[in-house]
Amino acid sequence: MTVASNYVAREVENKWYDYWMKNNYFHSEVDEREPYTIVIPPPNVTGVLHMGHMLNNTIQDVLIRRARLKGYNACWVPGTDHASIATEAKVVAKLKAEGIDKNDLSREEFLKHAWDWTHKHGGIILEQLKKLGASCDWERTKFTMDDDMSASVIKVFVDLYRKGHIYRGYRMVNWDPQAKTTLSDEEVIYQERQGHLYYLKYKIEGTEDTLTIATTRPETILGDTAICINPNDERFIHLKGKKAIVPLCERVIPIIEDEYVDVEFGTGCLKVTPAHDENDKMLGDKHNLEVIDIFHDDATLNSFGMQYEGMDRFEARKQMVKDLEEKGILVKTEEHVNKVGTSERTGAVIEPKLSDQWFLKMKELAQPALDAVLEKEVNLVPDKFVNTYRHWMENVRDWNISRQLVWGQQIPAFFYGDGKEDFVVAETPEEALELARKQSGKDLTAADLTQDKDALDTWFSSWLWPISVFNGILEPDNKEINYYYPTNDLVTAPEILFFWVARMIIAGYEYRDQKPFNNVYLTGIVRDKQRRKMSKSLGNSPDPLGLIDAYGADGVRVGMLLSSPAGNDLMFEEDLCKQGGAFVNKIWNSFKLVNSWEVSDKAEQPEAAKIAIQWYKAKFQKSLQEIDDNYKKYRMSDALMATYKLVWDDYCSWFLEMVKPVYGQPMDKVTFDAVTEILENNLKILHPFVPFVSEEIWQSMKERSENEALIISSWPEVENFDASLVEEFTVASEVISGIRSIRKEKNISYKDQIELHVLNNENVAGTFDPVIEKLGNISTLGYTDAQVKGALSFRVKSNDYFIPVAGAIDVDAEKAKLEEELNYTRGFLKSVEKKLSNEKFVGGAPAKVVENEKQKKADAEAKIEAILASLEALS
């Protein structure tokens, strides 16, 4: 069959992806086969492909393609996440650019803009994944705001509320002033930042005395409602029962006593600001203190900020410090490292804020999910993450699930009166009205009900993902959820182990009484050579689609996996993709070579070809077992390397050379048929890693029907093999390399046949002698009992190999060269022996260093022995 001289990745990739889609190979329906299911970690709907997606989805595609080949009913469910905060921020920015303020729009008007934005920009990332070769069941594509997905979320909220797991509370929450919404504790990233500690004087009411407090946030003094001292602190006995005056605002506040104050820390006097610190809030509740919130939702100061009203909190801090200094209130300032909470989404510094929010009680719900991982019902790979998981789950706090956003599932709570408790929770307004009438005892109408304006946390929808994509919440006994759930493998990043993975496990046990997946493969973070995380802001992240254009999808897939062990960060270099592209070209060129051979029914099979086939089949089986074992242990990088070495080294570099017909002569049909079978098996194990080039070669080998495509063929069966053949070839390959080295060093043309005599001290079987004769172009291969005079020699293990060179080289010059090498090696050996005879060195140096020196000694002795043998052979 005629094949293209050059492999053009883009043409091949478009052709075969279209072919796979046209023939519906990616689609799965419930049938009698055992299912293998993966659900994609849904990327943000408005996101674009980055290097982390590339790694994550390459691994998923490798797993799903192998499962398909192994005969499973493979189902990879794709989809996207509505990403409340990120998407709403983009829509707000777009509206702002058009001169529209979000606050001027009704909820329905804003949602229309959000849906328009989503329809325009959403799903781009899924189209980009197709370029990578992702074989998702695109007919099953889900979006977390689809009607059925949203209905599932609402149903779960109502169910958990009625079970007593969800409650509404006035609590200190993490407030993102940029996104203007609360965040869960897990969405707060703590960073160490250089700041200052400000020492401020507060007057004691009715006296000239003062007390000093230390604070990192002087702007919050305007919200102070008490000073707290430890009742056992003798330094402040005189302050008991007194009152202090807050600087600038001159508010009189009580001095309270509580053992919470650490007498050893700071000044011993603690300013209490219940509205802006969680610990202060607890003190405030205990001592019934007033709560004064000095911030607007965007963290500018409100009317309690007095002359600083309208200023950003950090600008206000600068101005306030200046003013306090001028008034003599600032005693001193010290450098201080703060642990600052920042928003995982926007990067803004988090503001503690008191607010009415919805919470999910986690302790009881989390226990089955904790047990599942500790008892290995759900396996984390690598298992080093188990301790992290356990720590999180044992210290889990109630989950703040409400967000002050419009984009998302609206909380199904309906208020009907003025009181905070005058509400009902229901799936529909109709049901809510019925419940509200019953609860209030009044003949209410729909107009009397007001639904909570807040939306649910995005994670509150994605925690149901493995269940809801199969409609398992709305129809818990449907055939799909019963067949595909629990899923097999989840591939995701360690940073969302708690955000998402743990919560999915919790939901799985709560709503299916089953784990959601068997294994969680945690990928590393893609970093650059300087170990920096790849990001747009650093400008160190290459464009994934640009890489695909340059090196082909297969080349990029190989490049991503060449050094990405589970859980360890991937140090990405573009050269890895270049190496991947070179591998693809090697596979293609090796096929072109095979395809170029003429075949004859009449030609006899050479002995070298017969042995080569037996050896490669044994070697293939050995590698297959290693590859399967690596897959089982989720060592994707190792599975790729074992495949890579088998194909590049054993198949291309050795096997094809061993069976290649003499130039100008045809190949016998027996050998060619065996090569074809071997190539097909190679393509099967290559396919998960390089699906495009493998399908192209598979389809180019012969005409095949839609039912015979590589993507749906079968994974090779593991069989018993002759391990001695593999071992014997290791020796034979060293012999061939020895012959080639001598030819190269002595400028003996490969066209010139040479003799080879073997002093077989090792009693090596002569199985591969025909191969050695062919690849070494040996005229005579004989065995001898003694050294051969006038010959060049080399050693493999304990065997000596002699190549008679009478007339082929200048013997005297060769002997002189060997003598020079001998003298150098003896001198080197002497220096090593001197070092090893030094007791101080042997006793003081690390064991590894001493071991290296001993190895150098052994290597030098072996080399001297070989040189002496060569000199004797030339005598």
Q: How far is 776 from 330, CA to CA, in rounded Å?
A: 89
Quick one: pLDDT at residue 229? Answer: 94
**Segment holding 767, helix H or strand E:** none
Residues 693-740: tens digit of each pLDDT: 999 999 999 999 999 999 999 999 999 999 999 999 999 999 999 999
Residues 22-42: tens digit of each pLDDT: 999 999 999 999 999 999 999
Does residue 839 register a pLDDT over 90? no
Over residues 42-68, mean pLDDT: 93
What is the chain's mean pLDDT, rounded?
93
Residues 387-420: tens digit of each pLDDT: 999 999 999 999 999 999 999 999 999 999 887 7
Q: By the 8 A CB rule, do 62 and 561 touch?
A: yes
User: Would you mind telling me the total number of residues written for the chain in this entry?
Assistant: 875
Give 762's pLDDT tier (boundaries 50, 70, 90): confident
Q: By the 8 A CB rule, do 415 and 454 touch?
A: no
Q: Which of 218, 240, 61 is nearest to 136 (CA)?
A: 61
The DSSP code for 660 is P
Lowest mean pLDDT among 136-150, 157-171, 524-538, 753-767: 524-538
Q: How far is 329 from 87, CA to CA, in rounded Å?
A: 45
Residues 467-479: tens digit of each pLDDT: 999 999 999 999 9
Q: How far is 654 from 648, CA to CA, in rounded Å?
A: 9
Quick one: pLDDT at residue 419? Answer: 73
Residues 101-134: tens digit of each pLDDT: 998 999 999 999 999 999 988 889 999 999 999 9
Give 572's pLDDT tier (boundaries 50, 70, 90): confident
Q: By the 8 A CB rule, do 477 and 26 touch?
A: no
Does residue 789 register a pLDDT over 90? no
Q: By the 8 A CB rule, do 265 and 337 touch?
A: no
Residues 592-604: tens digit of each pLDDT: 999 999 999 999 9
Quick one: pLDDT at residue 536? Answer: 63
Give 344's pLDDT tier (boundaries 50, 70, 90): confident
Which backbone phi and psi does 867 adopt, to 5 degrees?
-65, -45
Residues 669-690: tens digit of each pLDDT: 999 999 999 999 999 999 999 9
Quick one: pLDDT at residue 186? Answer: 80
Place of tokens 């009438």: 437
Q: How far is 407 from 145, CA to CA, in rounded Å?
A: 9
For 147-182, the three-class secondary structure string (H helix, E strand, C coil) is HHHHHHHHHHHHHHHHCCCEEEEEEEEEEECCCCEE
Place of tokens 């396919």: 687
Strands 226-229 and 270-272: antiparallel
Lowest mean pLDDT among 58-62, 572-576, 627-631: 572-576
The DSSP code for 756 is E
DSSP result, 289-314: ------B-TTSBB-GGGGGGTTSBHH
Give 564's pLDDT tier (boundaries 50, 70, 90): low
Q: By the 8 A CB rule, do 203 and 244 touch?
A: yes
Handedness of CA 818, 824, 826, 829 (dihedral sign): negative
Place of tokens 């299912």: 35
Residues 483-518: tens digit of each pLDDT: 999 999 999 999 899 999 999 999 999 999 999 999
Residues 421-463: tens digit of each pLDDT: 899 999 999 999 999 999 999 999 999 999 999 999 999 999 9
Quick one: pLDDT at residue 123? Answer: 84
DSSP result, 822-867: HHHHHHHHHHHHHHHT-HHHHHHS-HHHHHHHHHHHHHHHHHHHHH
Q: Which residue(s) pair with 212 in the sheet?
A: 201
Does residue 537 register a pLDDT over 70? no
CA angle (287 as vertex; 281, 288 as ends), nearest 5 = 80
Q: Which of 129, 141, 145 is nearest to 52 (CA)?
A: 129
Quick one: pLDDT at residue 630? Answer: 96
Quick one: pLDDT at residue 808? Answer: 61
DSSP result, 666-715: PEEHHHHHHHHHHHHHHHHHHTTTSHHHHHHHHHHHS---GGG-GGGS-P
Residues 129-164: tens digit of each pLDDT: 999 999 999 999 999 999 999 999 999 999 999 999
Residues 858-875: tens digit of each pLDDT: 999 988 988 887 787 777
82, two tokens: 């509505």
Between 673 and 810, whose confidence is greater?
673
**What residues contact residue 678 under an 8 Å CB cut-off, 6+ apart?**
613, 616, 617, 620, 651, 655
pTM to 2 decimal places: 0.85
The DSSP code for 276 is S
